[in-house]
Amino acid sequence: MDMNVILKRFDAPDEVRVFSKGRFELVTLGGMTIGRATYQPGWRWSVDVGAASGAASCHVEHVGMVVSGCATAAMDDGRVIEMRAGDIFYVPPGHDSWVVGDEPYVSLHFLGATDYAAKP
């Protein structure tokens, strides 16, 4: 049995996915991939991530926690929620999202990180 402790930091991620007004850093350990999303004011998923693939909405399921800032999750069925620092969220597939206000938005992703903003 492997009893080694593994420490990693987002300062030195295993992978970085960069797109307009944002970046998504990934760290893999213990069979899990965790992502850190950092979006600048004015970032919108459908414009800054989805447009490159022609997708109008994100089809990745997300479980995460907001570290700082504020963003919306606008579901395809019309529901819109705001997520703020300290919120732990579940967002099902079929949504758009954008930063609210003039502060960068940062969140950690515990589910969905592997597929988010991945190059086809």
pLDDT digits (tens, 9 = 90+) for 82-97: 999 999 999 999 999 9
Collapsed DSSP state (helix, strand, coil) of residue 115: coil
The amino acid present at 73, given as its one-letter code, is: A
pTM comes to 0.92
On whether the CB atoms of residues 73 and 91 are closer than 8 A, the answer is: yes
pLDDT given at position 52: 86
* Range 26-43 average pLDDT: 96
In sequence order, the β-bridge partners of residue 112 are: none
